[in-house]
Amino acid sequence: MMTDPVQPLAIALSRCGKTFADGTRALEPLDLEIKAGETVVFLGPSGCGKTTTLRIIAGLEDPDAGGRVLFDGVDVTAQPIEQRNVGMVFQSYALFPNMTVAENIGYGLRVRRAKKPAIAARVDEMLGMMRIEPLADRRIDQLSGGQRQRVALARALAVRPRALLLDEPLTALDAKLRDALRLEIDELLRRLGITAIYVTHDQAEAMALGDRIAVMDHGKMAQIGPPREIYRRPATRFVADFIGTMNRISGVARGGVFVTDAGAVPWLEAPPGTTEALFRPEDVTVVDEGQAHLKGSVVAAFFLGDRTRLFVKVDANKPLVVETDARRDYAHGETVGLRIDPRGLMAL
Ligand SMILES: Nc1ncnc2c1ncn2[C@@H]1O[C@H](COP(=O)(O)OP(=O)(O)OP(=O)(O)O)[C@@H](O)[C@H]1O
Ligand SMILES: [Mg+2]
């Protein structure tokens, strides 16, 4: 069955801050624009304000005075949640345990006083979309975690929302199931063309799903951009450290070379005055000492099957993380040569 396309919603926040009654400042006044049909992932450590931002968009929370929420350019700040027509998959917004799967999915339509045959048809369609037809008459407590998440998604989508807000929908699931459902959600969001905001702690999930990632830090947007940009050109040290693994080494940039205690790395574009070079594990390779930029000693080697992750001590900083092919063993204390791809070097 084909789902009618919905007109996706453009969402904007203008100076939306949030101070809770007890004085907790959860959000600094925030500006954010989400394009119609876009998937934006909010990523950040616990307590940085992700859920609060979602709740403000949904209408579950009012922003502080002066903050405005705009849907397609129209101010909806005063509009109650029922009128905003956004779907939600929140952990705190649990399924109704005393209803069957089908009743849960049809709930929003019943509240909106849709006709019985229309509800039944839509529920069937959603059961099919989420591939849970055989579960229609089960109670919620008879479902696995992954099945519950499918029901939650089906319930949120049943009312044809113009935007979908998902708050860590997969966190409670085991890794394999999470991967599988993440793929399905990705496919679903693209097929429906719906605007989506997806909150997660998991950066792999953020990279996979987001058209853009918004990295949050202490109630502020530290950076917002496509996954590649966030990963390759982090705007701040916080973003650099939060996303992926970042190596750092101290030295001085001089005449197109970055000179460190462990050796020198060619770096033509080093900004003047640079005293620290940052680079990702995939931009370092283990090479013969003759070709090495840096030398260090192996402090740990983890065999990961398809590759080996080495921790190499080169200076007083934390050991460098280096990924290398898994064809040979590395001994603790072994000296290795490292070569760094200059294109991967960053200064912050
Ligand atoms: N009702 C409330 N009253 C007071 N403080 C609150 C309330 N709700 C949230 N906070 C605080 O606001 C801050 C942001 O909370 P929020 O739930 O948005 O974080 P989060 O980024 O979603 O974190 P997590 O990843 O742990 O879910 C936290 O310091 C939290 O303790
Ligand atoms: Mg949260």
Give the chain's domains with CATH numbers: 11-242 (3.40.50.300), 247-344 (2.40.50.140)
With H, G, I as helix, E, B as strand and everything else as coil, classify residue 129: helix
Look at ligand 1, atom 12, and give the residue with the nearest C-alpha: 26
Summarised one tens digit per residue, pLDDT across range 258-307 is 999 999 999 998 998 899 999 999 999 999 999 999 999 999 999 988 88
pLDDT of 333 > 70? The answer is yes
Q: How close is the Cα of 157 to the center of ligand 1, in Å?
A: 26
Encoded tokens for 253: 């940039």
Query: Which helix (H) or strand (E) covers residue 265, if one does?
Result: strand 263-266
- Residue 173 pLDDT class (50, 70, 90 cuts): confident
Partners of 165 in beta bridges = 88, 197
Q: Judging by DSSP bridges, how do beta strands 294-303 and 307-313 pair with one another?
A: antiparallel
Nearest alpha-carbon partner for 312 in 297, 326, 325: 297
pLDDT of 326 > 60? The answer is yes
Encoded tokens for 252: 């001085």
- When the pLDDT of each residue in the chain is averaged and rounded to a whole number, the result is 92
**HEC sequence for 19-79:** ECCCCCEEEEEEEEEECCCCEEEEECCCCCCHHHHHHHHHCCCCCCCCCEEEECCEECCCC
Least confident window among 39-48, 99-108, 168-177: 168-177
Q: Is 92 in the pocket of ligand 1 (CB under 6 A)?
A: no
The structure's pTM equals: 0.87
Q: How close is the Cα of 19 to the center of ligand 1, in Å?
A: 10
pLDDT the model gives residue 39 = 97
With H, G, I as helix, E, B as strand and everything else as coil, classify residue 96: coil
pLDDT of 3 > 60? The answer is no
pLDDT the model gives residue 1 = 44
Summarised one tens digit per residue, pLDDT across range 116-171 is 999 999 999 999 988 899 999 999 999 988 899 899 999 999 998 999 999 998 87
Among 41, 51, 54, the mutation site with the greatest number of ligand 1 atoms within 8 A of its Cβ is: 51
Q: How close is the Cα of 276 to the center of ligand 1, in Å?
A: 34
Position in ligand 1 atom list of the atom nearest CA 216: 21
Q: Specify the DSSP class assigned to residue 3.
A: P
Look at ligand 1, atom 22, and give the residue with the nearest C-alpha: 51
- 3-state SS of the chain: helix, strand, coil percent to 5? 30, 30, 40
With H, G, I as helix, E, B as strand and everything else as coil, classify residue 324: strand
Nearest alpha-carbon partner for 36 in 17, 9, 14: 9
pLDDT the model gives residue 4 = 59
Q: How close is the Cα of 169 to the center of ligand 2, in Å?
A: 11
